[in-house]
A and B are shown apart, each in its own frame.
Chain A
């Protein structure tokens, strides 16, 4: 999934490089808190291991093809997300300069696509969540496959966004995204299975190696909030403009049966429909009497997407505070 320099413009490459550098600076600070000098040599050798392991062909039975290990996830499991992110940056730099795999302008994009999603989203939110209470064989395999697939698909989606924003390909965004995600789904599953096999082996041989990576490396609430808001901005603000205009499953099914989906006959349905029409200030995920666009991105849809997400967030917070367990008097 290494992007070449030709697939992005300097503007996109510059922004992604700045983002990757910012995350790297934060990771360097977190990785060296309570600094153990011994961590850096381990990072270097683990990075070289990922290199060597990616040269190994793991035969996939029944297909005649082979797969490779998911380096970022394995590094995160061994070293923790911050050290893993930095190590992956080192690996990607060497791949770009000495192995002609990637590029300099695309370095930031590759670092985010292959490092950020695996280390800061897939590992803490999926792998650690699944293995939190029980890290038995089945849970470990599930966790590795789910985390690897999610990280890879997020990276592939990000590649699609970066290439589309750069105006490199004439392929429509939704077709390109489907093509990229479709290719990377089986790859993510295979990589997850191989990673799970390695993790289970190391767990049986030297379990203390895994403890170093998984202890106390959850994401801080602030970072989780920042990442979530950034995801909302991208998906609600940009990707929503490329949502399919075709009918969804229900609408398609109803159309095929010849029934009318909208236009209630009368009574309560009509009254409620009239009330909805009056209350809805973002009908069809846009604004009434507002048409503007920024290139392929519809401004009304983008703003509606972001406002909708913020409203949901505020409601979720209110509900969360309301239902939060209060300590009983006897517990105080």
Chain B
């Protein structure tokens, strides 16, 4: 099961987000989310043969990673996850778009080749920038930015609870899997068909037990249905606005040139 790997990565992201002390970490998360959205729109707006235009935009996430001292190796490797689904769709361009776009030395480069690699680079950069946001802001930053954009608490609170309970339920699933595979003397590669219902159903019943305990705990603490996100980013408004303005100017500069 890949649950342990996923858990480890989540813990790592949590540590990075809560432990960061650079000026990027002090920015309001809504500003970082806005810049992330603007960047993704700029990248995906490039034409399908606009490889050089997309490359120019790669400078911005590199700069932010450097200033915020985020773990570049982790971000670079994690962003590779964007490539398979994009490649599965874009690979057909290599065979269907064979008109020569330009010649490099003696090699004819087809439009399909350029569009394929442009697509891969777009996918990579979009995911990279998204990860920069999540690693520098964490779940608290995400909920603070969702609250800033006036999303209802009926949406924000489940986001928080899903995130918090992923750790608990993934751990439960791992323990159940370990018990199951030990009973199969280590030969089980997955849950056998006869056990699908009882295994997943058992995990579901445990989840509902957790939800009942959680509900009672929240109600006993006088919870009335709302959600108040953390406000530790108050007081950095000017810095956040300058950050948005600076990134917007850079993106416009790349688009116009």
Q: Which of A58-66, A127-135, A244-252, A322-330 contacts B (4 or more CB under 8 A)?
A: A58-66
Q: Which residues of B contact A104 (CB under 8 A)?
A: 36-37, 40, 126, 130
Give the B interface residue count (CB, 8 A).
87
Q: Chain B at the A interface: mostly helix, strand, loop or mixed?
A: helix
| Contacts A43-B158, A57-B190, A170-B96; A97 near B203 (Cβ below 8 A) | no
In the bound complex, what is the Cα–Cα distance between A3 and B119 (angstroms)? 13
Q: Which residues of B contact A32 (CB under 8 A)?
A: 154
Does A321 sit at the interface, judged by CB under 8 A? Answer: no
Q: Which residues of B contact A4 (CB under 8 A)?
A: 82, 85-86, 123, 126-127
Q: Which residues of A contact B160 (CB under 8 A)?
A: 44
| Contacts A28-B152, A45-B165, A169-B90; A197 near B201 (Cβ below 8 A) | yes
In the bound complex, what is the Cα–Cα distance between A24 and B153 (angstroms)? 12
Q: Which residues of A contact B238 (CB under 8 A)?
A: none
Q: Which residues of A contact B120 (CB under 8 A)?
A: 6
What 0/1 pattern do residues 1 to 23 of A give for CB contact below 8 A with B? 01111111110010000000000
Closest beta carbon of chain B to A66's beta carbon, Å: 5
Q: Which residues of A contact B204 (CB under 8 A)?
A: 49, 53, 198, 202
Q: Which of A83-91, A219-227, A228-236 contacts B (4 or more CB under 8 A)?
A: A83-91
Q: Which residues of A contact B197 (CB under 8 A)?
A: 197-198, 200-201
Q: Which of B56-64, B209-217, B228-236, B246-254 contacts A (4 or more CB under 8 A)?
A: B209-217
- Contacts of B177-206 to chain A: CB distance below 8 A: 177, 188-193, 196-205
Closest residue of B by beta carbon distance from A7: B89
In the bound complex, what is the Cα–Cα distance between A100 and B74 (angstroms)? 12
Contact A5–B122 (Cβ < 8 Å): yes
What 0/1 pattern do residues 39 to 65 of B give for CB contact below 8 A with A? 011011100100000000000000000
Q: Which of A33-41, A260-268, A298-306, A309-317 contacts B (4 or more CB under 8 A)?
A: A33-41
Does A177 sit at the interface, judged by CB under 8 A? Answer: no
Does A108 sit at the interface, judged by CB under 8 A? Answer: no
Does B255 sit at the interface, judged by CB under 8 A? Answer: no
Does B72 sit at the interface, judged by CB under 8 A? Answer: no
In the bound complex, what is the Cα–Cα distance between A44 and B158 (angstroms)? 4
| Contacts A52-B169, A57-B191; A44 near B126 (Cβ below 8 A) | no
Closest residue of B by beta carbon distance from A200: B197
Contact A201–B123 (Cβ < 8 Å): no
Contact B173–A40 (Cβ < 8 Å): no
Q: Which residues of A contact B10 (CB under 8 A)?
A: 98
Highest count of chain B CB atoms <10 Å: which of A48, A53, A202:
A48
Q: Which residues of B contact A42 (CB under 8 A)?
A: 208, 211, 215
A90's partner among B155, B189, B193, B203 (CB-CB below 8 A) is B155
Closest beta carbon of chain B to A218's beta carbon, Å: 21
Contact A37–B224 (Cβ < 8 Å): yes
| Contacts A4-B126, A6-B86, A42-B215; A56 near B200 (Cβ below 8 A) | yes
A58's partner among B169, B191, B214 (CB-CB below 8 A) is B191
Chain A interface size, as a band, is 35 or more
Closest beta carbon of chain A to B242's beta carbon, Å: 23
Closest residue of A by beta carbon distance from B125: A6
Contact B200–A197 (Cβ < 8 Å): yes
Does A296 sit at the interface, judged by CB under 8 A? Answer: no
In the bound complex, what is the Cα–Cα distance between A233 and B232 (angstroms)? 47
Does A209 sit at the interface, judged by CB under 8 A? Answer: yes
| Contacts A37-B219, A40-B225; A198 near B201 (Cβ below 8 A) | yes
Q: Which residues of A contact B40 (CB under 8 A)?
A: 5, 103-105
A41's partner among B119, B127, B199, B214 (CB-CB below 8 A) is B214
Does A271 sit at the interface, judged by CB under 8 A? Answer: no
In the bound complex, what is the Cα–Cα distance between A210 and B175 (angstroms)? 26
| Sample of 11 more A-B contacts, CB < 8 Å, known A55-B3, A58-B200, A202-B201 | A4-B127, A6-B82, A40-B225, A44-B158, A48-B164, A49-B207, A86-B155, A103-B127, A105-B126, A171-B89, A205-B205
A-B contact pairs, 18 of them (CB 8 A): A6-B43, A6-B119, A37-B218, A40-B157, A45-B161, A52-B3, A53-B204, A56-B191, A56-B203, A57-B190, A94-B163, A96-B130, A104-B126, A105-B37, A163-B89, A200-B197, A205-B205, A206-B205
Residues of B participating in the A interface, judged by any CB pair closer than 8 Å: 1-3, 6, 9-10, 13, 36-37, 40-41, 43-45, 48, 78-79, 81-82, 85-86, 89-90, 92-93, 96-97, 112, 115, 119-120, 122-123, 126-127, 130-131, 133-134, 139, 142, 152, 154-155, 157-166, 168-170, 172-173, 177, 188-193, 196-205, 207-208, 210-211, 214-215, 218-219, 223-225
Which 4 residue pairs are nearest across A and B when measured between Cβ atoms? A44-B161, A201-B201, A48-B165, A197-B197
Residues of A participating in the B interface, judged by any CB pair closer than 8 Å: 2-10, 13, 24-25, 28, 31-32, 35, 37-38, 40-49, 51-53, 55-61, 66, 69, 86-87, 89-91, 93-94, 96-101, 103-105, 163, 167-171, 193-194, 197-198, 200-202, 205-206, 209
